[in-house]
Structure 1
Amino acid sequence: MKETDREAVATAVQRVAGMLQRPDQLDKVEQYRRREARKKASVEARLKAAIQSQLDGVRTGLSQLHSALSDVKDIQRSLADVSQDWRQSINTIESLKDVKDAVVRHSQLAAAVENLKNIFSGSGLGGATIVRETRDLIEQGALLQAHRKLMDLECSRDGLLHEQYRMDSGNTRDMSLIHSYFGSTQALSDELAKQLWMVLQRCLGTVRRDPTLLVSVVRIIEREEKIDRRILDRKKQTGFVPPGRPKNWKEKMFTVLDRTVTTRIEGTQAGTRESDRMWLVRHLEIIRKYVLDDLIVAKNLMAQCFPPHYEMFSNLLRMYRQALSTRMQELASEDLEANEIVSLLTWVLNTYTSAEMMGNAELVPEVDASNLEPLLSPNVVSALLDTYMSTLTSNIIAWLRKALETDRKDWVKETEPEADQDGYYQTTLPAIVFQVRPAWATPARPGYREEAQVYKEEHLRNRQHPHCYVQYMIAVINNCQTFKESVVSLKRKYLKSEGEASVSLSQPSMDGLLDAIAKEGCGSLLEEVFLDLEQHLSELMTKKWLLGSNAVDIICVTVEDYFNDFAKIKKPYKKRMIAEAHRRVVVEYLRAVMQKRISFRSADERKEGAERMVREAEQLRFLFRKLASGSGEDVDGYCDTIIAVAEVIKLTDPSLLYLEVSTLVSKYPDIRDEHIGALLAMRGDASRDMKQTIIETLEQGPAQASTDYVPIFKDIVVPSLNVAKLLK
């Protein structure tokens, strides 16, 4: 307390010091004293009030504690009394079991009274039963009324079963009794469901004739769906589910519709390949018509009979698409013929999404044909295309072989082949082929080349037969050109775009094959020519030739005579044939030079022989100019080779021989040492050292051929006489 007093005094001193800091404040001392006295009195009053309030609260709390203690003692005494009374009443509770059984019995009887009408009707009392009435209504097609009565029966049965389950779920005897009593209810439900599914199976026809019947079916299904939901909700609370629930009729409805769509698609096949070659075309056309008609009806009529959340049109579209895909897969897996594969792929890839089916204006905008999934996977389409190409190729090859066999029989006729409007020989094969077959189906594929080769070999065994060998070989060559022109024409006609056509037309495989056949045919004809020229070519560069042989005259006459027949060859091949004949005649002439058939003994002989070579070169040049007139073919180059060789032989000054030979080699870079040796040996005046020097010098700087140079000496083989012997 003393410490508190000291703190109070110190605080008071501090406050007084703060009030009396200036002299003029001394006049207000009395005023300050009164103010502080009032504050003190106020604080003391509040302090007294607070202490009094605390004392009152403590007093009240003590009073309540005393009261609570008294109440606890009273409760304790009451509990003791209740415990004593309970022990005394146990026997009394045991005697109330009969009352409990009576309550359960009363509850069951109350449920029975509530369903009294259905029970009496179901037992045959009071006239016709509900079961009979319901069955009659089902047979009459009054499905809504029948369903209403069925609902009443099911409600009575389910109510009794639920009450029995709630009171005594283990009493199987009573549960079985109720099941037995309402046993016909499930049969009625099945009969009604059967009628509903029959209506749904015919829904596309029903919606046209009697849409109210379809609406009734949908209403019944919706009722059952609501009952299913209510029973499933009650199951969560009580665990009880009536027999036959949930019925799931909405799900079954879609299953029935799906099966109906599948059956409708599969049932459109009206025939088989054995009875109708066009069975697949008819089958696909019926499918197209049925699907289009069904979807239009579904969109415009049927969808209005179902609640929006059923999305009936979308579901039907999905079912039809799946059924179509399944059916197309089945058809694709069958052993289809080539034309049937074309029909199937055309229908799947084109007709299905066209305006004739899924792209029809009446299905827009619900159906977007551009976004429909394909009916067949790319792998199946590819497999069908492979099968088609394989089958078609086999069929065409077999057909072409037969056509070629027929054409081959004409080749041995005694009469000449027919000519076209321009006078060119031809057979009927190109016309037959391109009347009925695509552009790629040329007879070059199934053995045209081989047949022409066999034809040639048979002729060479006996050149008197066939009588018109040359004419028919010309026809074979002309056929190749006809095939090429027809291929180009058909590709331009049938290929879709210009780019595709240009790429296809530039492909060399077919043209190359036909050109090869024509080239071999031209070679066979030239071989025929040179077989007749063989005897006269062997006279060249011999003593007989030097003394005045007319071998070249006969050669020119023979070649010209043959080329009068060859005038029936079409221009592209005729032009090549003239050039090849020209080259081969010159090559054979030069081969005669290189075979050392003659060796000139004097300058006069060399001069005479060289001049004769020049005359004959000009004679050959004139012949081939005449044959090539109008073709634009350069026929001078080959004959110039003979003249160049003649210049080497004609040279009178041996010292200039090296220069002349060098000029020859520079003009004809493919000339070889053995050719030079044979040429010098033919001159007969070159010494061994000179020959050796010329050859060795030329070997040191071989000439380079120009890009447009056509080799001629490379085909000339000098007889097996080595250079050393030629130099002797």
Structure 2
Amino acid sequence: MWLVRHLEITRQLIIEDLRVVNTLCLPVFPPSWEVSHLFVRLYHECLARHLEDVINNGLEGNEYVALLSWVLQTYPGRELLAHPDLRINQSNLGPLLKPEVVDQLLEAYMAKMTSNYSDWMQRAIETETRDWLRNIEPEGQDAEGHYTTEGLILFFQIVEENLQVSQTISTDLMLRSLSLGFQQIIQYGVLYRNAIVEFKTKHFEDRSQVMYFTYYMIAIINNCLHVTELALNMKTRYLKPNSSFAVEIGRIFDHLVQAYQKLRDEASEYLLEEAFLDLEPHFSDLVTRKWLTSSVAVDTICATLDDYFQDYTRLKPNNYTFVIQEARDLLTRKYLHALMNRKMSFKDDIERREGSEKMIREMQQLQELFSSHGYKDLVNSPLEAIASLAEVIRISDVEFLALELHSVIKTFPDMSSDQLINLLFLRGDMNRADIKRKVSEIIPEGTT
């Protein structure tokens, strides 16, 4: 770059000239003339005018960095004014460039950095979305075989490079660059989310078009977690707790983490949506006449989820745990919805007993599925709700039903009166009026 060469030649010439002044002029002029200081001031003023001309002619790209680094670091440092051979007193010189000129250069540098980020983000999103639609598995994997894509990692590398360059100019500029970098990563998350939603929508319009939707969604989820890890590492290395920027950057960092955690959660929903679409016909078969005499529905649900969970092992451990937990919660809601969907009513005590026992067996079968994939907290599992509702179905004496209903409401205080009505309808031994009366005793009207 011409400016770097020009500034280096200028530095060398000034040092050589001032050495000549100290060697040849000082011995022949009276000390009171301060010949050395006179020449230093002359060079200082001429150089200031020259650099202003360079600035007025316009700077491009890295020329801002080269000039700022030279003016703020090289010129006053040991490579020039503080060179041990020159013994220059800088206290009366003043700044090489006016503070307002330096501020303008800094603002122009930050504006250029922002523009570069914007251009890069758009290209990166376009590249990533094209990769998602290819009929090949994600190429990026970490050492443990967890899927990733490179876009966000490259973004952090660019931010890292900008921080290192800015640090050569000043610590304040480096911290401003860190703040800007985090803000731009947040903005990238907005573009990333829009692209993910479009990808998901396109896929569910015709699921035959995107062969590796599940794998790329896994990579996206892993990327979101990796962003928070990389951002924390960067913040720890560059931001000192007592820095004047600590509060501002800390706030932006928190926003970044929240944004990517939310995006991780949304992407996990899309990942599970794929699996649960396959299961929808089998959820429709739950708690029907066909279901009473067949285990096909839950057997198929377990086999299908087991297959998907094998793919989910490509998730990083924290993400895997989160997705499996979300799958368990969603499956519980689907099963409970089937119980309260009025698709059938039991005919007698025998059917009620057989139906409740079947619910318990299926609950245990589902718990075993999740336990086999590392989720072993059965005590606090929402699947236990199935057992509670099965007990409501099992009770043969309607007079004792109120006690069980009170227990259910105590355990599930957000249960609505409509849900309770539908559950009692499933029993098949009470008319509509009796059901409503019984529910009103448990949940007074106007309380839900």
Give 2:131's aligned amino acid: D
SS at match of 1:338: coil
Q: Deviations over 1:84-137 (max 9, x none)?
A: xxxxxxxxxxxxxxxxxxxxxxxxxxxxxxxxxxxxxxxxxxxxxxxxxxxxxx
Shift of 1:505: 7.5
User: Hey, what does 2:440 align to over in structure 1?
Assistant: 695
Q: Could you say which residue in structure 2 is the equivalent of 1:546?
A: 292
Letter in 1 for 2:300: I
Whole-Å separation in 1 of the counterparts to 2:397 and 2:129: 62
Kindly indicate whether residue 340 of structure 2 is the aligned counterpart of residue 618 of structure 1: no
Which stretch shifts more, 517-526 or 528-537? 517-526
Please point out which of 121, 124, 148 is paired with 1:426. 148
Q: How does 1:675-686 map to 2 (within 5 A)?
A: 675-686=419-430
Aligned counterpart, 1:641 = 385
Residues in 1 aligned to 2:344 and 2:202: alpha-carbon distance in whole angstroms? 37
1:455 is the counterpart of 2:203? no
Q: SS of the counterpart of 1:548? A: coil
Counterparts of 2:384 and 2:304 in 1: how far apart (Å)?
Answer: 22
1:686 and 1:327, CA in 2 relative to 1: closer, same or farther beyond 3 A? farther
Residue 556 (structure 1) aligns with:
302
Structure 2 CA distance, aligned partners of 1:372 and 1:647?
Answer: 89
Q: Deviations over 1:248-267 (max 9, x none)?
A: xxxxxxxxxxxxxxxxxxxx
The 3 A distance-change label for structure 1 pair 446 and 603 is closer
CA contact (8 A) 2:145 2:314 kept: yes
Structure 2 equivalent of residue 471 of structure 1? 215
Post-superposition Cα deviations, 1:526-550, rounded to whole Å, max 9, x if no partner, equal 1111110111111112222223352
What does residue range 147-546 of structure 1 map to in structure 2 within 5 Å? 278-364=1-87, 366-368=88-90, 373-418=94-139, 419-430=141-152, 432-434=154-156, 436-438=158-160, 440=181, 444-445=188-189, 447-493=191-237, 495=238, 497=240, 507-546=253-292
Q: 1:505 to 1:627 in 2, by over 3 A?
A: farther
Change over 3 Å in CA distance of 1:332–1:460 after alignment to 2: same
- 2:343 partner SS: coil
Structure with the larger RCO, 1 or 2 (CA within 8 Å, 6+ apart): 2
Amino acid aligned to 1:654: V
Structure 1 counterpart of 2:387, one-letter code: I
Deviations 1:553-593 (A, max 9, x none): 11111111111111111112111110110000001111112
Partner of 2:177: none
Q: Structure 2-normalised TM-score?
A: 0.83
Deviation at 1:342, TM superposition (A): 1.3
CA distance in 2, matches of 1:378, 1:597: 78
Distance apart, 1:698 and its partner CA: 3.5
- Would you say the 8 A contact 1:676–1:695 is kept in 2? no
1:391-438 Cα distance to aligned partner (Å, 9 max, x none):
122223323433443333332333322343312223344565455553
| Secondary structure in 1 matching 2:62 | helix
**Structure 1: which 5+ runs fail to align?**
1-277, 703-722, 724-728
Rounded to whole Å, the distance in 2 between the matches of 1:458 and 1:559 is 23
Over the matched positions of the two proteins, sequence identity in percent amounts to: 36
Instruction: Find the structure with the greater CA-based Rg.
Output: 1
In 2, the alpha carbon distance for the partners of 1:700 and 1:380 equals: 73
Give the alignment's Cα RMSD to 1 decimal: 3.1
Counterpart mapping for 1:133-148 below 5 A: none
Compared CA separation, residues 657 and 375, structure 1 to 2 (3 A): farther
Tell me the distance in 1 between the aligned counterparts of 2:443 and 2:290: 34
TM superposition shift of 1:281? 0.9
User: 2:364 & 2:246 partners in 1: Cα distance?
Assistant: 45
Q: Deviations over 1:493-515 (max 9, x none)?
A: 5x164766997678223333333
The 8 Å contact of residues 345 and 425 in structure 2, kept in 1 or not, is answered as yes
Q: In the superposition, relative to structure 1, how do residues 626 and 285 fare at CA in structure 2: closer, same or farther (>3 Å)?
A: same
Give how far 1:452 is off: 2.1
Query: Shift in Å at residue 491 of structure 1?
Result: 4.6
Structure 1 residues 531 and 635, CA gap change in structure 2 (3 angstroms): farther
Structure 1 residues 381-390 or 659-668, which shifts more?
Answer: 381-390
Distance 1:696 1:345, change over 3 A: farther
Q: 8 Å contact 1:610–1:646 — kept in the other structure?
A: yes
Counterpart code for 2:371: R
Match of 1:570 in 2: 316
Distance 1:635 1:391 in 2: 57
Match of 2:373 among 627, 630, 644: 627
Shift of 1:368: 4.0
Does structure 2 retain, via aligned residues, the 8 Å contact 1:579–1:635? no
| Structure 2, unaligned runs of 5 or more | 162-180
The 8 Å contact of residues 44 and 96 in structure 2, kept in 1 or not, is answered as: yes
Q: Contact 2:41–2:93 at 8 Å: present in 1 too?
A: no
Structure 2 counterpart SS, 1:638: coil
What is the 5 A alignment of 1:664-675? Answer: 664-675=408-419
Aligned counterparts of 1:579 and 1:502: Cα–Cα separation in 2 = 36
d(CA) in 2 for partners of 1:656, 1:279: 92
Q: Tell me how far 1:680 sits from its aligned partner.
A: 2.2
Q: Distance in 2 between matches of 1:662 and 1:307?
A: 106
Deviation per CA, 1:656-703: give whole Å up to 9, x if none: 22221121111122212222222222223346356435435534997x
Q: Which amino acid aligns with 1:646?
A: A
CA separation in 1, counterparts of 2:423 and 2:23? 100
Change in 2 beyond 3 A, CA 1:567/1:674: same
| CA 1:670–1:327: 2 relative to 1, 3 Å | farther
Distance (whole Å) between structure 2 residues aligned to residue 287 and residue 635 of structure 1: 76
CA shift digits 1:367-412 (9 cap, x unpaired) = 146x753333444333323322221222233234334433333323
Deviation for aligned residue 1:289: 2.3
